[in-house]
């Protein structure tokens, strides 16, 4: 709780924390909005494939003409990382292959990495984090995004002596959403296609939030960072409001829905018939904890915590997350404390590609949020045993075989280049962490 004081000291010494931002989309723009209001933090270089869009993003969030003129805008991430005296590289492209490449370049250059790109983290994060640790730099999940916020709550619970029963986030979910394609996504957000287009909203990206893929990716990141288990049959998405977390998010043996304690799970803001859940957690994160003794359980009651009927299970939650507006916490934690705001230490959760419809040989997969596949959370060991194709690689790969609706797409079902850099990195990660 002293990041601001440490930053003030850096500012007073004339040694600001310097950041290279790669990707000036929504998350990046939200971060940029806070930069002028954070003395001691500078972003001298912004990398984006569309440099004019990046400049416009800076103007939109309130940057002065002078600040924009003093900033380097480039489309060459490798050159930006190699050049300049940067403390932290923020990777916010959302492209797994590009994210892995940028992270490795930053680690090789001795710079800390804040990985907004959770898709890349789930594909190869355990390996990248280990490479960073060996290089003496920080590889970190992005504070403000739900995985890092959940990891913080898990760490708080464990550090205070509680057993973590479940941890995760809320979202809007119905089972039918798994098969939704970009053509039908906007009706579920209460928008017309025209309204979404005028707002610059990407249908495939928003569909990845709806069809369950993004939830699976984020829960895999949490499992890998916190050493939590993954439900053996995938996420349940039980309807659950904040008051019911201790009742519902406990093991089945104790009257809840979980197969065991110590798992990640996402709660739905919708009942299965589409009615809204009372006091839902759609935008927030939670941790359910268990009192280690009767005395602690009595304290839960005395201090007004909502508990289950036994009084032993309670929940803490954060109702909102502000994504890029909170990113400074990760940046400053890495630069000033040499600590991540969550990072993977093992390979416990993976995200497998599942057919949205009957797929035919010769079709091209189109990745996260697209028309062909959605991402299902599975235990890493089960994913490897099934030779499941990770969702982060299910883009522009041609099918060799038919895959039935609802079935996992396997490596043997697609044509791929074994010498591809991203595929080699993934296979190296699997080999290094499969036994971990």
Shared-domain flag, residues 261 and 160: yes
Shared-domain flag, residues 381 and 400: yes
Average pLDDT, the chain: 96
Report pLDDT for 435.
61
Domain boundary among 280, 307, 337: 337
The domain in which residue 44 lies consists of: 3-144+324-337
Report pLDDT for 223.
98
Q: Is residue 344 part of a domain?
A: no
Q: Is residue 185 part of a domain?
A: no
Number of domains the chain contains: 3
Q: Is residue 84 part of a domain?
A: yes
Shared-domain flag, residues 223 and 292: yes
Report pLDDT for 195.
85
Q: Over the stretch 271-313, which tens digit does the pLDDT of each residue have? A: 999 999 999 999 999 999 999 999 999 999 999 999 999 999 9
**pLDDT band with cut points at 50, 70 and 90 for residue 85:** confident
Percent of the chain with pLDDT over 70: 99
Q: Is residue 190 part of a domain?
A: no
Q: Is residue 196 part of a domain?
A: no
Shared-domain flag, residues 53 and 138: yes
Spatial distance between the Cα atoms of 176 and 246, rounded to a whole number of angstroms: 27
Shared-domain flag, residues 120 and 81: yes
Shared-domain flag, residues 46 and 101: yes
Percent of the chain with pLDDT over 90: 94
Shared-domain flag, residues 295 and 387: no
Q: Is residue 186 part of a domain?
A: no
**pLDDT band with cut points at 50, 70 and 90 for residue 63:** very high
Shared-domain flag, residues 111 and 151: no
Shared-domain flag, residues 392 and 290: no
Shared-domain flag, residues 7 and 84: yes
Higher pLDDT, 80 or 198: 80
Q: What CATH number does residue 409 fall under? A: 3.90.1210.10
Q: Over the stretch 154-201, which tens digit does the pLDDT of each residue have? A: 999 999 999 999 999 999 999 999 999 999 999 998 888 888 887 777
Report pLDDT for 83.
84
Shared-domain flag, residues 140 and 8: yes
Count the Cβ atoms, other than its own, within 10 Å of residue 111. Answer: 26
Q: Over the stretch 403-425, which tens digit does the pLDDT of each residue have? A: 999 999 999 999 999 999 999 99
**pLDDT band with cut points at 50, 70 and 90 for residue 436:** low
């Amino acid at each position: 709780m002293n990041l601001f004081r440490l930053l003030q000291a850096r500012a007073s010494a004339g040694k600001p924390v310097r950041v290279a931002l790669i990707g000036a989309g929504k998350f990046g723009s939200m971060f940029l909005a806070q930069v002028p209001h954070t003395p001691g933090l500078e972003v001298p270089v912004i990398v984006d494939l569309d440099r004019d869009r990046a400049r416009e993003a800076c103007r939109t969030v309130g940057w002065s003409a002078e600040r924009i003129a003093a900033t380097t805008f480039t489309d060459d991430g490798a050159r930006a990382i190699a050049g300049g005296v940067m403390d932290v590289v923020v990777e916010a492209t959302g492209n797994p292959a590009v994210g892995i490449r940028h992270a490795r370049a930053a680690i090789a250059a001795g710079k800390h990495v804040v990985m907004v790109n959770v898709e890349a983290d789930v594909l190869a994060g355990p390996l990248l984090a280990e490479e960073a640790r060996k290089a003496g730099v920080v590889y970190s999940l992005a504070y403000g995004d739900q995985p890092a916020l959940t990891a913080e709550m898990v760490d708080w619970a464990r550090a205070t002596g509680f057993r973590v029963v479940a941890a995760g986030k809320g979202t809007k979910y119905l089972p039918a959403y798994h098969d939704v394609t970009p053509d039908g996504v906007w009706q579920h957000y209460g928008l017309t296609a025209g309204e979404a287009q005028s707002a610059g909203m990407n249908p495939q990206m928003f569909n990845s939030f709806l069809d369950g893929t993004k939830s699976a990716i984020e829960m895999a990141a949490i499992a890998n960072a916190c050493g939590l288990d993954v439900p053996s049959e995938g996420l349940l998405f039980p309807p659950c409001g904040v008051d019911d977390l201790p009742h519902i998010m406990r093991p089945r043996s104790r009257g809840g829905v979980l197969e065991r304690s110590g798992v990640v799970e996402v709660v739905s803001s919708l009942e299965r018939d589409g009615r809204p859940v009372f006091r839902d957690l759609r935008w927030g994160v939670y941790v359910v904890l268990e009192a280690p003794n009767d005395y602690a359980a009595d304290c839960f009651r005395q201090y007004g915590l909502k508990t289950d009927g036994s009084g032993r299970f309670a929940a803490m939650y954060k109702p909102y997350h502000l994504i890029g507006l909170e990113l400074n916490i990760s940046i400053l934690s890495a630069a000033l404390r040499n600590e991540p705001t969550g990072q993977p230490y093992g390979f416990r959760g993976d995200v497998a590609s599942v057919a949205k419809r009957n797929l035919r040989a010769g079709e091209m997969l189109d990745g996260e949020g697209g028309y062909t596949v959605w991402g299902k959370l599975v235990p890493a060991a089960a994913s490897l045993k099934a030779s499941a194709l990770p969702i982060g690689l299910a883009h522009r790969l041609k099918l060799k075989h038919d895959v039935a609706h609802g079935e996992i797409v396997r490596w043997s079902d697609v044509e791929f280049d074994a010498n591809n850099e991203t595929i080699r990195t993934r296979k190296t990660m699997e080999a290094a962490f499969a036994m971990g």
